[in-house]
Amino acid sequence: MKNDIEEVLISKEDIDLKVKEMGKQISEDYKGKDLLLIGVLKGAFIFLADLMRHISIPVEVDFMAVSSYGTSTKSSGVVRIMKDLDSTIEGKEILFVEDIIDTGLTLNYLIKNFKTRGAKSVNACTLLDKPERREADVSVKYKGFDIPDKFIVGYGLDYAQKYRNLDQIYILKEEAYN
């Protein structure tokens, strides 16, 4: 498995520092507000768990599962909701938490969809962004790192459901998925 890894892209130390900083900023911005974090499964679950512990204001959490990828490395552009929210969102300030924004199609769909569901505000937070690959014009309020157009794994991100458990972010060798 380790043979498929090319190199470390973002170290554990750099991830930790960034996540802490983002949590602090979110805590300041949403002070006195009814914040609901929505983790987009599965990739965001580790980032969300760490981020939440750096949020110092009252906060709720829920999860959605969407699918646009299957086991390939290219977005199909079709977003299917596999698991919807348990909570109601009326009057809440929604912050979607994503692991990575690639084409932006997933987040674009979610934000549009939620704006019609009665939330007070709908914004997004992502640990990683691949700006070169953007297809949908989606605005992100909090962003950890811009990264190059490489396929990456670790810290919640998978390739064919594997590698999510790695605690740093790695570039996957091209021959591993080509």
Residues near ligand IMP, by CB under 6 A: 43, 68-69, 75, 98-106, 151-153, 157-158
Shortest spacing between CB 99 and Mg ion, in angstroms = 5
Asked whether the CA dihedral 140, 81, 39, 99 is positive or negative, the reply is negative
* List 14, 62, 84, 102, catalytic entry: 102
User: Catalytic: 102?
Assistant: yes
d(CA 64, CA 81): 7
Q: Where does the chain have alpha helices with state H?
A: 12-29, 45-52, 105-115
Helix (H) or strand (E) holding 118: none
User: In angstroms, what CA-CA distances link 152 with 20, 25, 166?
Assistant: 22, 26, 11
Name the one residue in this structure whose structure tokens are 């490395």.
Answer: 73
User: Nearer to ligand IMP by C-beta: 77 or 118?
Assistant: 77
Residue 69 binds: one of Mg ion, ligand IMP, none (C-beta under 5 to 8 A by kind): ligand IMP
Shortest spacing between CB 38 and ligand IMP, in angstroms = 13
User: Nearer to ligand IMP by C-beta: 34 or 52?
Assistant: 52
User: Nearer to ligand IMP by C-beta: 93 or 129?
Assistant: 129
Residues near Mg ion, by CB under 5 A: 43
Residues with a catalytic annotation lie at 102
